[in-house]
Amino acid sequence: MLICANLNQPWNSPLPTLVLLQKCRTSNDVNQIHARLITTGFIRNRFLTTKIVLAFSPSPFTPLVDFARYVFFQHIAFRSPQQDQEDPFLWNAVIKSYSHGRDARRAFVVLCLMLENGVPFDKFSLSLVLKACSRLGLVKEGMQVHGLLRKLNFGSDLFLQNSLISLYVRCGFIGYARQLFDRMPMRDSVSYNSMIDGYVKMGMIDSARELFDFMPLEYKNLITWNSMISGYTQLENGMDLALGLFDKMPDKDLISWNSMINGFVKCRNMEDAQDLFDKMPRRDVVSWADMINGYAKTGKIDLARSLFNEMPERDVVVCNAMIAGYVQNGYCAEALEIFYHLQRDCHLQPDSTTLLIALSAIAQLGHIDKGLTLHRYLKRKKFSLGEKLGVGLIDMYSKCGSIKNAVLVFEGIEPKTVDHWNAMIGGLAIHGMGELAFKLLMDMERLSVEPDDITYIGVLNACGHAGLVKEGQICFDIMRRVHNMVPKLQHYGCMVDILGRAGQIDEARKFIEEMPIEANDVIWRSLLSACKNHDNIDVAEPAAKQLITLDSGNSSSYVLLSNMYASLGMWNAASRVRLMMKERNLKKIPGCSWIELEGTVHEFFVQDKSHPQVMEIYSLLDSFSASNSGVTPCMLLN
């Protein structure tokens, strides 16, 4: 910024400096003004420096806030000859710039400086510091301020007591908050609302209701009623209570209506949610998004789309709800249509949530070209890959078959979170690269990256697909002995799969028997599948019996056992299993394959004749097989 002031003020007046400062946006701009203040001597003008602190400490522009703090500490703080009579309003302005802005912890540091240098403070100084402690969860520092309040007889001030209650509630110390509340000589709506909201957020709905009933009627306001309704909607059978309270409310706002709709949506009660939605005097995007999300989660995607089309005005949140609804219901192509419409025709810009859902849709479709295009968009718009977007991008490339691109994305992210490591390990597992996945786990150990349970599921899966029994066992031991993690059912399932794939059927069965938790149907199905692959009928029959007991309605268990009997020539036993399926009205779910050709995904089921080019496909397959006597010709069945 070129310094230029065309004001009807002499150059040696401080007023042009204040005007120019208001226009500063960068550190370079501020440095130019600072240089002028030094050369003109205005930096020693107490009137001007005070104006700078008061005007720019609450600025939304970081360089101006930093400059205001610098001016305060270098030219105002600690320099008053009469600090005992000093009004702390300038100190409070600086404390507020910390407590409401960046580096809130320094608000507490500034209060300590005031105490050390004998600078007087007031209740606003303390309330600002308590707010900073609440924001960051600094309960120890907050307790020190609490002790200072009691020592200096500030303890009975209602405003400060409410600030303390808010601190303890936000830090999860609801018991301390209640002790303070019970000892208060006077309370107001803020006191009650803070406690009720705290109980609700802690899931202590009975305590919230008790306090709500005890609260004087004149203190109850919309915040009180809405907090209580929100609490009831958390209960398994709380919607009747919430609706009763909703009907009693003297006044309702959008939060009241939206809380009720959200509660019905969570219960999948879309009939009552729709009834309330129709009665709403006014709706906002939250109302529409909740309804769309509710219909999508109950599988009524057409109703969700109808509501989406009816909306008078949409925002990114509603578009995200509709896109996510399509993806959840398997309509990934339709999800991408809305995403592209959002980019092309709307005035809205996709946010990181939109892009994450779009990546998930592309991953499910396997459209690598669309994935590459979206990756270029992320680069062009300078989205950070340091959080979930990087995870989604690695996952997308892995599922679209481009493990090379997934590795390039992974290597380019710094710093990496455990989620990035997990996504890369999972991608390597999909591609059967067990050794590389195990190496990544060792790299995590070397770099002191703490793995979680998902990390070990990914590595164990990778070891299973690659036949790495020894590495899988080492991984399982590291999880338990080095990181002291208690294995979950999924980890035990992975170990059974590793042993079963390697043909160690007896070891797998013994492993299941020695598990400290009961095996579920997935683990028994894994063992049964391994028995079929390695023709172990002795272990297969009791495994199948366990599996049918646990999951009698799943046809895959019967099919596995029947196919195994058939492969061993035990036709009577195979017929008995098939008859059992027929008696229980179970049908085998057909297998499905798909292939992408020139941007179009083609899907095929077993003996599928629905494809528009089915005759050409079978004819081409027959021509291939005719030139190979070892291949049985593919016949089109009538």
Rounded CA-CA distance 407/598 in Å is 25
Element (H, E) at 600: strand 600-605
Helix (H, G, I), strand (E, B) or coil at 382: coil
Structure-block tokens of residue 3: 């310094």
**Confidence check: pLDDT of 397 > 90:** yes
Lowest mean pLDDT among 145-154, 338-347, 560-569: 560-569
The pLDDT assigned to 616 comes to 80
The pLDDT assigned to 271 comes to 95
**Confidence check: pLDDT of 569 > 50:** yes
The pLDDT assigned to 596 comes to 62
What DSSP state is assigned to residue 593? E
The pLDDT assigned to 7 comes to 42
Indicate if the alpha-carbon torsion angle 133, 137, 141, 144 is positive or negative.
positive
493 contact partners, CB below 8 Å, separation of at least 6: 520, 522, 523, 526
Lowest mean pLDDT among 58-62, 180-184, 261-265, 388-392: 58-62
% of the chain surpassing 90 pLDDT: 60
DSSP secondary structure string, 428-455?
Answer: HHHTT-HHHHHHHHHHHHHTT----HHH
The pLDDT assigned to 604 comes to 72
Report residue 631's pLDDT band, with 50, 70 and 90 as the boundaries: very low
Q: Residue 85, exposed/middle/buried by CB under 10 A (0-12, 13-18, 19+)?
A: exposed
Mean pLDDT of 397-416: 95
**Confidence check: pLDDT of 128 > 80:** yes
pLDDT tens, residue by residue, 136-171: 999 999 999 999 988 887 768 899 999 999 999 999
Rounded CA-CA distance 266/240 in Å is 14
Rounded CA-CA distance 307/175 in Å is 45
Helices 105-116, 123-136: axis angle to 10 degrees equals: 150
The pLDDT assigned to 628 comes to 57
**Confidence check: pLDDT of 606 > 80:** no
**Confidence check: pLDDT of 3 > 70:** no
* Predicted TM-score (pTM) of this structure: 0.74
pLDDT tens, residue by residue, 380-396: 999 999 889 999 999 99
Alpha-helical (H) ranges within 329-387 are: 332-344, 352-365, 368-380
- Please give the residue that has the higher pLDDT: either 410 or 609: 410
No. of helices (H) and no. of strands (E), the chain: 35, 2
Q: How far is CA 508 from the centre of its chain?
A: 36
The pLDDT assigned to 31 comes to 80
- Please give the residue that has the higher pLDDT: either 119 or 263: 263
Rounded CA-CA distance 479/304 in Å is 44
Indicate if the alpha-carbon torsion angle 55, 60, 61, 66 is positive or negative.
positive
Rounded CA-CA distance 21/65 in Å is 11
Report residue 635's pLDDT band, with 50, 70 and 90 as the boundaries: very low
Mean pLDDT of 424-441: 95
**Confidence check: pLDDT of 189 > 80:** yes
Report residue 134's pLDDT band, with 50, 70 and 90 as the boundaries: very high
Q: Which residue has the tokens 């109703």?
A: 303
pLDDT tens, residue by residue, 201-220: 999 999 999 999 999 999 99
Mean pLDDT of 345-353: 84
Cα→Cα distances 38→2, 20, 31, 32, 42, Å:
17, 15, 11, 10, 7
The pLDDT assigned to 584 comes to 66
Element (H, E) at 505: helix 505-513
**Interior/surface letters 140-162, b for 16+ CB within 10 angstroms, e for the rest:** ebbbbbbebbeeeebbebeebbb
Cα→Cα distances 53→19, 62, 68, 71, Å:
14, 13, 5, 7
Report residue 82's pLDDT band, with 50, 70 and 90 as the boundaries: low
Report residue 6's pLDDT band, with 50, 70 and 90 as the boundaries: very low
The pLDDT assigned to 385 comes to 92
**Confidence check: pLDDT of 636 > 60:** no
% of the chain surpassing 70 pLDDT: 89
DSSP secondary structure string, 139-169?
Answer: HHHHHHHHHHHHHTT-TT-HHHHHHHHHHHH
pLDDT tens, residue by residue, 315-332: 899 999 999 999 999 999
Partnered with residue 597 across adjacent β-strands are: 600
Mean pLDDT of 325-348: 88
Mean pLDDT of all residues in the chain? Answer: 87
- Please give the residue that has the higher pLDDT: either 605 or 485: 485
Nearest 5°: phi and psi at 6? Answer: -110, 70
Q: Which residue has the tokens 């209570």?
A: 241
Report residue 424's pLDDT band, with 50, 70 and 90 as the boundaries: very high
Cα→Cα distances 214→73, 83, 207, 218, 220, Å:
49, 47, 11, 12, 11
Q: Which residue has the tokens 């507490």?
A: 108
**Confidence check: pLDDT of 11 > 50:** no
The pLDDT assigned to 613 comes to 78
Which residue in 321, 202, 336 sits closest to 262, CA to CA?
A: 321
The pLDDT assigned to 358 comes to 96
- Please give the residue that has the higher pLDDT: either 124 or 33: 124
Nearest 5°: phi and psi at 601? Answer: -95, 125
**Interior/surface letters 424-436, b for 16+ CB within 10 angstroms, e for the rest:** bbbbbbbbebbeb
**Confidence check: pLDDT of 2 > 50:** no
**Confidence check: pLDDT of 9 > 70:** no
The pLDDT assigned to 344 comes to 79
